[in-house]
Amino acid sequence: MPEGGLDRLLLADADIACIDYGVAGYSCITKDKSSREILWCGLGCTLVKRKVFDTLTMPYFRSDIQLLLNNYPEEEWIQAPKDAYGGHDIYFCIQARKAGFTIKQVEGECIHLKLDALGVPEVNYGLHNIGEKPSISKHQQLPL
């Protein structure tokens, strides 16, 4: 988290406050092209007020379905492949926005870490080598 990031998230006093980070060079925040409103964000560096969870119904997060973006703003979900990863942040943010909550971006960029190599299990040999994923160089907006 960037220095002072937690303080900025708290001071934002938003329903959902997030700091951006790169995913394959893309921003983890997607905005509406015309209104610039945040549609969803990655949850890697996010604070969510309790009232959001108190209002939403479970499950809060789902990764078994994926949103088709081709027909945005029409919402169409499809079954995700069994080995799919992610999408839980998109589902959560869409449900929160439907319930009237807003998402606010806070200044800064988090470093997105990745596991490059795993040490040898059960022998305490080797290190877990951690690297950095690319910083943000591209931004996503809808409609496509």
Residues in contact with 86: Cβ distance below 8 Å, sequence separation at least 6, in sequence order: 63
Instruction: Convert the pLDDT of each residue in 51-60 to its tens digit.
Output: 999 999 999 9
Instruction: Convert the pLDDT of each residue in 68-117 to its tens digit.
Output: 888 778 888 889 888 777 788 999 999 999 999 999 999 998 887 777 77
Quote the strand ranges of the chain, DSSP E.
Answer: 16-23, 26-32, 38-41, 46-48, 65-68, 76-79, 103-110, 113-117, 129-132, 138-142
Task: Please choose, from the candidates 111, 129, 133, the residue with its C-alpha nearest in 3D space to the C-alpha of residue 120.
Answer: 129
